[in-house]
Amino acid sequence: MTMLKVVEVLAESPNSWEEAAQNALRQATETVRGISSIYVKEFEAKVENNKITSYRINAKITFALEGKE
């Protein structure tokens, strides 16, 4: 039986929420193998001088635990 683990991450981008999600996934793959999904839980935008300056997400990344079955 495959065991899955979920980690919650925060990520940011100056361009879009989609890029923020890609940033989260790219950074997670540096230390985690077997990622099967990313669930974007929350969206937030930072505003300065009446303009959006950065896009932020709170996401859950799911991956398989390694080990003997």
Domain ranges of the chain: 4-64
Assigned token pair, 39: 């669930």
- DSSP reduced 3-state for 3: coil
35-48 β-sheet, strand order: 4-13, 51-64, 35-48
Q: Phi/psi at 68 (nearest 5 deg)?
A: -75, 145
- The domain defined by 4-64 carries CATH number 3.30.70.3460: no
Q: What is the pLDDT of residue 50?
A: 97
**pLDDT tens profile 2-54:** 889 999 999 999 999 999 999 999 999 999 999 999 999 999 999 999 999 99
CA distance 50 to 21: 24
What is the band of 66 on the pLDDT scale with cuts at 50, 70, 90? confident
What is the band of 68 on the pLDDT scale with cuts at 50, 70, 90? low
